[in-house]
Structure 1
Amino acid sequence: MISVEKAFERIVADAKPLTTERLPVAQTSGRVLAAPLAARRSQPGCDLSAMDGYAIRSAELTGDMAELAVAGESAAGAPFPGALTSGQAVRIFTGAAVPEGADQVIIQENVERRDDRIFTREAAQSGKNIRFMGIDFLDKQIVLDAGTFMTPKSIGLAASAGHSHLMVHRAPKVAILATGDELAPPEQKSFAPHETVNSTAPQIAALLTDAGAVCTCIGQAGDSLKSLQAAIKKAKAADILITLGGASVGDKDLMQQALSSEGMELGFWKVAMRPGKPLIFGQIGDMKVLGLPGNPVSAFVCALLFARPLVDQLMGRPSPMPTGVPLPLAADMPANGPRQHYVRARLIGIPGQRALDPAVDQDSSLLSVLSQSDGLIIRAPDAPAAKAGEFVPFLPF
């Protein structure tokens, strides 16, 4: 049995980002940029008006009433064709190109117009109400670094820089295999008392899909070596195989044997944590294998701590070990045992004065407690009793 830290290191530390693929920019949300992105143009490409008004030469404004002839107009997409000369102004609209020779825009509210002439007492201020060429970024400037996690805001920047497609790391393909003779699919019309609804597969699939993985539930296998072997063969095209159940030491816990018979090189088995002790990690060829416990809370905690960071690492995102943030306890907690304990807890109190309320019942089968929790209190091995008000690490989910 190894520590959580050692388990994390073995699972995540040597995982390298997957190969790259070229995707339309709008489809890259959640992906990681594989190379630096240089702008293909300056933004804006010329000086633009920030307001509706009149483009003028600031030298024309002396503090007294200035009178200028309107020589034409500049609209967004339809710039004034010539250069501004002495005594002239150009009607201009927001986003329109500032005519050559102009260096100030007077907002229309500060101008009186009579026919083709304007009158204003505006003070001279070169550059006022102008967005200068390249203030956002310049041609050939690196606008996004390699390793950038793409979000709607970075997608907008990439498109603005003139890119319709981006090179990103491929999303990991995750095969999820649920096991156990007692499992029944959620869509079954009715359930026998001895049956357990397969809730863990969709739960883990949702967790990893949110992290960017492409998840496929490859079915349910019974508690026989033949059934498990046949199901494992379906996952050979995956980057990660996640099995649910059969990882412990009972007579029906055949997962490790089945995986080994299909070529798995075992990395470790069992982690000094609760819930989640009977965790299997290994590799079949290039495919990472995580054998999670069958209890739904145990599986969720293991997926949160190990599977999601593994997905991050394969996508090119840095994935430090989840260590939590310090928050105060709302109630006393007893001393911890020899295994690191991940305690389900709610956040209570008002924003800025939050405290952690540990759930009374920490049974690893209770999904109702998990669904009502906001995260996990991390209790180190052999941690002493903690009093209300004491700060402890909290891992939100």
Structure 2
Amino acid sequence: MISVENAFHRIVDDAVPLTTERLAVEASVGRVLAAPLAARKSQPGCDLSAMDGYAVNSSDLSGGPVTLKVTSTSAAGQSKISELKPGEAMQIYTGAPVPNGADQVIIQENVNRDGDNINIQENAAPGKNIRFAGNDFAAKQIVCDAGTFITPKSIGLIAGSGHSHVMVHRAPKIAILTTGDELAKPDQDTFGPQETIDSLTPTLLSFFNDAGATASSLGAIKDNPDAIKAAIRNSSDADILITVGGASVGDRDYVQEALKAEGMELDFWKIAMRPGKPMIFGKINNRFVIGLPGNPVSAFVCALVFVRPLIDKLMGRPAPLPTGVLLPSAVDLPANGVRQHYMRARLIGIPGQRMVDPAASQDSSLLSVLSQSDGLIVRPVDAPEVKAGEPVLFLPF
């Protein structure tokens, strides 16, 4: 067996971001920029008013209350603005260009207007209520570096700097191959007592797609070596092949031998962790192959700890080993053994005083316990016993 850390580094460290593709900016959330973006125009492109009011020259305001003549109006989007002369004011609206000769905007609530004249009692304050040209960013300025993770809040910056499309790293294609004579489809009319409904395919499809990958199913294949080999060949366009079940070396575990027969170079297949010990990792040419255990919780934990970071790395995102955060345990925990233990747990207590409460049963087949959990308590190899209230690592999901 190898350690979790060793397994993680052997899977993730040599992975490099995939090739690039051009996407519409609104479709790029969750992707990583493959090249820096420079603004195509300054924002604002000229001095703009931040308020509804009157554009004035601050030098006209020195010496106490003054009366200025309103000569024209400036509205948002207006391109031709007359120049402001001494002793004049211009009515101006929010977002409108500030005329030449003006360096201050007086909000309309602070002005008394009588016909074409306004009376102002405000002091000079050059620049007040003005958004200056290039205040947000200037033309040709880099607004997003290569490697930027695109989120909804960065979409406005990208579009506002003049870009409708961006070059991003491609999302990995993932093919999921589930095996087992006992598997039944969730939509069958009836179920035999010997059958187990395939819950892992929809779980993994949603998990990987939510991570930004493009995942698809190769179907549930019977425990037949030739059928498994044929399905493996059908995954040739995938960046990652995920197999589920048959990862061990029992008489009915055909997956590892089928993968080797189809050209997989095996790296390892046992990890010092629970659940998730019998996990396969290797490559077929440049295709990553990860063979997940058939138990639902084992497969989910391995997908969280190993596959999700691999997806991140291939997409150009940071991909550290998931280790969790420190939170107090709600109960005493015994010392751990030679395998790193990932214990399903719930968060309890009020915000700011959260504790983690491990599930009473850690059986790796229990879907009900997994669905009710908020994350995993991570118990390192040979970790000493923990008393209630002492901190433990908690990995939320």
TM-score w.r.t. length of structure 2: 0.98
Which digits, 9 at most, give the CA deviation of each residue in 1:319-347, with x for residues without a partner? 01111111110100111121000000111
Q: How far 1:64 sits from its partner (Å)?
A: 2.5
Q: Which residue of 2 aligns with 1:157?
A: 157
Q: Structure 1 stretches (4+) deviating beyond 2 angstroms?
A: 62-65
The letter of the residue matching 1:122 is E
Residue 186 in 1 paired to residue 186 in 2? yes
1:13 paired residue number: 13
Equivalent position of 2:333 in the other structure: 333
Supply the distance in 2 between the matched residues of 1:269 and 1:139 (Cα, whole angstroms): 53
- Residue 142 of structure 1 pairs with residue 142 of structure 2: yes
Unaligned runs of 5+ in 2: none
What's the offset of the Cα at 1:117? 1.3
Map of 1:219 onto structure 2: 219
1:106 aligns with 2:92: no
Hey, what does 1:293 align to over in structure 2?
293
Task: Give the AA of the match of 2:124.
Answer: A
1:344 matched residue in structure 2: 344
Tell me the distance in 2 between the aligned counterparts of 1:63 and 1:206: 70
Q: How far apart are residue 250 of structure 1 and its match? A: 2.0
2:343 alignment partner, SS class: strand
Q: Is 1:132 matched with 2:144? A: no
Question: How far apart, in 1, do the equivalents of 2:113 and 2:261 lie?
Answer: 87
1:316 match: 316
Note if 1:195 corresponds to 2:195. Answer: yes
Q: C-alpha root-mean-square deviation of aligned residues, in Å?
A: 0.9
* Superposition map of 1:252-291 within 5 A: 252-291=252-291
Kept in 2: contact 1:79–1:99 (CA 8 A): no
Shift of 1:80: 5.2
Identity of aligned residues (%): 66
> In structure 1, what residue type is equivalent to 2:222?
G
Equivalent-residue separation in structure 1 for 2:107 and 2:128 (angstroms):
10
1:72, 1:80 within 8 Å by CA — same for their partners in 2?
Answer: no
SS at match of 1:138: coil
1:59-98 residue CA offsets vs partner (Å, 9 max, x unmatched): 1112522111111111110145211101111111111111
The answer as to whether partners of 1:63 and 1:121 remain within 8 angstroms in 2 is no
> Do the aligned partners of 1:326 and 1:391 also contact (CA within 8 Å) in 2?
yes
Deviations 1:205-262 (A, max 9, x none): 1111111100011111111101111111111100000011000132111110010111
Alignment of 1:33-112 (within 5 A): 33-62=33-62, 64-79=64-79, 81-112=81-112
Q: What is the CA–CA distance in structure 1 between the aligned matches of 2:63 and 2:294, rounded to whole Å?
A: 80
TM-score normalised by the chain length of structure 1: 0.98
In 1: Cα distance, 2:227 partner to 2:181 partner: 10
Q: Which residue of 2 aligns with 1:356?
A: 356
Q: Which moved more, 1:190-199 or 1:9-18?
A: 190-199
Amino acid at match of 2:248: S
Q: Residue in 2 aligned with 1:248? A: 248
Report the CA distance between 1:15 and its aligned residue: 0.3
Structure 1: which 5+ runs fail to align? none
What secondary structure does 2:303 align onto? helix
